[in-house]
Amino acid sequence: MIKNKFPELYPFLTDSVWRTIRSVQGAARWMKNRYSPQVQAKINPYSTCFSHCSCWFLQNLLPDFYDTLTPDDVTGEINSSIYQQFAKRHPAIGQWGASRYRGKLNQLWHVQEKYLNDKMQKARTNLKAVFNNAMTIQKIEEALQRGPVIVNTSPMYRRKRLGHIMLIVGYEPDTETWIIDDPFGDFREHYKTGHINQGNDLPVSVSEFERVRGSMAIYAV
């Protein structure tokens, strides 16, 4: 922060000025992805939340290259022989099936990390996707300056906790609010009827989101 780099300025600036500086530094918003509800997918509509978030991740970072990419494209590609062979060459990551992953959760994330890096390399970008299984709020804030952040969550649905993936596309520091794209709908309403398809650009306080957010994330560096 400027306050840390130039402490000699602190006595001459008001609190409101510091709040403005923090707001400008911390605010982030990624809105280049084309939101589409998970339930409208042609392939495995109830188990492709990761495909949706990976698709939107690429659309935001590389819109000129991946504007027409769809979540169904991602699902088909990541279940192709390329990633089955990748799993076989790396036995520790478990089995990668034609329709779903079977194995430990962090191993699934490594396959997604591989897929995203392959797509980013194809676009000839210097960006790289990185998996982190100990993601903190501060790290998310920092990562949002470079791109959206894919996170694992466990929202409530029909009185049960779902294993689910969401995309953080923005941060409003003044109100300490994340902007969330939820592929399945509005998790704040527990996906009640009428909220299944309404998961685009959800404002959620950081503290509220911590109740459902896990520790895993993929972001760009």
For each of the domains in the chain, give its residue range(s) and CATH number, in order of start.
Answer: 43-220 (3.90.70.10)
Arithmetic mean of pLDDT over the chain? 83
60, 53 contact by CB (below 8 A): no
φ, ψ at 198 (rounded to 5°): -115, 60
Query: What is the predicted pLDDT for the residue at 11?
Result: 53
Confidence of residue 90 (pLDDT cuts 50, 70, 90): low
pLDDT grade for 117, boundaries at 50, 70 and 90: very high
Residues in CB range of 77: below 8 A, 6 or more apart: 83, 115
pLDDT exceeds cutoff 80 at 127: yes
> Residue 46 has which token pair?
């109830």
Helix axes 81-89, 71-78, angle to 10 degrees: 50
Q: What pLDDT, on a 0 to 100 scale, did the predictor assign at position 19?
A: 47
Report the alpha-carbon distance of residue 127 to residue 182 in Å, rounded.
24
Q: CA-CA distance, 154 to 13, in Å (whole number)?
A: 42
Given a cut of 70, whether residue 40 has pLDDT beyond it is: yes
Least confident of 5-9, 50-54, 183-187: 5-9
Burial class (CB in 10 A: 0-12, 13-18, 19+), 130: middle
Please indicate, yes or no, whether the overall pTM of this predicted structure exceeds 0.85. no
Structural tokens at position 179: 């902007």
Closest CA to 41 of 93, 101, 99: 99
What percentage of the chain reaches a pLDDT higher than 90?
59
pLDDT at 95: 44
Query: Exposure string (b/e) for 78-109, b if CB count within 10 Å is 16 or more?
Result: bbeeebbebbeeeeebbebeeeebebeeebbb
Answer whether residue 92 shows pLDDT above 60. no
Identify the pLDDT of residue 169.
97
